[in-house]
Structure 1
Amino acid sequence: MSTQPEAPAPYALVVDDDGLIRMDAADILADAGFRTFEADDGDKAIALLEREQACIVLLFSDVQMPGTRNGFALARETAARWPHISIVIASGNVAPEPGDMPEGARFIGKPFSAAMVHQHVAEILPDGRKPDPLKDRNC
């Protein structure tokens, strides 16, 4: 009887200029089975995506950040350049207007809970790109 080696957990990129919120979001995604990369603004996120996009399946970003790209601009550029990456945008201050977010992206309000994040991620990621803890969830 042969056993297949377990596939490595997929990566999520968490982008938020608030270190505590970024750490909380990374912990929530780690609990869901992701490995995480972190960036504190959209410019650093793009640089990281250019290097690591092949293993990243999820972008989880704040809207309001320093740098030349806010979260909406980051989401649109990510969707255009790396369409395999699913996107969740979070904000406690700004709601998306028409055209702000790419098709298929999700918006959640802050403060967010682990259950809320897990549900949205489970709904938008195809089964083949979900980490094991999110597979077979009835969300």
Structure 2
Amino acid sequence: MSDPSISSEPYALVVDDDGLIRMDAMDILQDAGFRTFEASDGDKAMTLLAREHAVIVLLFTDVQMPGTRNGFAVARETASRWPHIAIVVASGHVRLEPGEMPDGARFIGKPFTADMVHDHLQAILPDGRKPEPLRTREQAGSAT
């Protein structure tokens, strides 16, 4: 793996046990200018976050996954340990209950589109943490 500290693009971690959905989410985030890490469950995600949290600015996680942590648990632990990481939780099956999401996190339904994801990223990421393509897209949108 290359040294992530030499990259100017921010990193996102995509966590989903469905490989096709994970690849789709990674493609959407890469189009927005992120470099990506991936994990197939919450436990693997927390291991990766413990190692790479300094370069990760976004967690994009599914809810229902195998292992000891679901996506809500990953989101809450990430928010507690690394508050600089923005969080998007996605699910097509789970209804959001009060208190499940950390403050500032966003919930998105599946199936999601690139525009839906990009709109959530515009809302939760501070300008200094947005990759260039996402900033350019925002500026183009505000110019119309």
**TM > 0.5 fold call:** yes
Q: Which residue of 1 aligns with 2:110?
A: 110
How many residue pairs get matched?
Answer: 134
**1:30-41 → structure 2 map (5 Å cutoff):** 30-41=30-41
Q: 1:22-61 counterparts in 2 under 5 A? A: 22-61=22-61
What does residue 3 of structure 1 align with?
none
Opposite residue 36 of structure 1, the aligned amino acid is: T
Question: Which consecutive unaligned segments of at least 5 residues does structure 2 have?
Answer: 1-6
**In the alignment, what sits opposite 1:123?**
123
- Find out whether 1:70 has 2:70 as its counterpart: yes
Identity fraction in percent: 75
| Cα distance per residue 1:82-108 (max 9 Å; x no partner) | 000000000000021011000000000
CA distance in 2, matches of 1:12, 1:40: 14
SS in structure 2 of the partner of residue 90 of structure 1:
strand
| Aligned counterpart, 1:89 | 89
Cα distance, 1:122 vs structure 2: 1.2
Aligned-pair RMSD on alpha carbons?
A: 1.4
Unaligned 5+ segments in structure 1 are 1-6
Higher helix share: 2
Deviation at 1:130, TM superposition (A): 0.4
Q: Deviations over 1:9-53 (max 9, x none)?
A: 000000000000000000000000000000000000000000000
TM-score (norm 2): 0.90
